[in-house]
Amino acid sequence: MDFSHIIAEDKIKKAIKAGEFDNLPGHGKLLVMEDLSAIPEDLRMAYKMMKNAGMVEDEGSYKKEFMRIEDLLANCGDSTKKKELEQQLTEKRMRYQKYKQKNTSHSSVFKEYQSKLNDLLS
């Protein structure tokens, strides 16, 4: 170990003894590990940074938002609020369709599959 590692380890040990790590959010809970196997290893760090910055949307976030709005719709009694929620749900669904279309239309696998389907249908 070099000098900087020794100093870092010493500071961590002092912080543990002082109880600085006792009340951290998520203490005692399991870490949620993301499955990044579909992303090339050299792009994973950039992907995580962009995702944490809110620049990358995933399918799961869309589905969670759909469920949230649908739950609000089911429990809403006000007709004007219900119309607003229906409009939000429609907008989210349109964004999701654009997202799916963007992701599948640029995929080389999709293009290959599409050309094979076109050959079969012609």
Look at residue 122 in the predicted model and tell me its pLDDT: 67
Look at residue 50 in the predicted model and tell me its pLDDT: 83
**Predicted confidence band at 107 (pLDDT cuts at 50, 70, 90)?**
low
Look at residue 110 in the predicted model and tell me its pLDDT: 63
The long-range contacts involving 29-35, CB below 8 angstroms and separated by at least 24 positions, are none
Radius of gyration over alpha carbons of the chain, in Å? 24
Look at residue 60 in the predicted model and tell me its pLDDT: 75
Look at residue 99 in the predicted model and tell me its pLDDT: 76
Q: How many CB atoms lie within 10 A of CB 85?
A: 19
Are 56 and 43 contacting, i.e. CB atoms less than 8 angstroms apart?
Answer: no
Mean pLDDT along residues 56-61: 73
Task: For the full predicted model, state whether its pTM sits above 0.75.
Answer: no
CB-side exposure of 96: number of CA atoms within 13 Å? Answer: 15
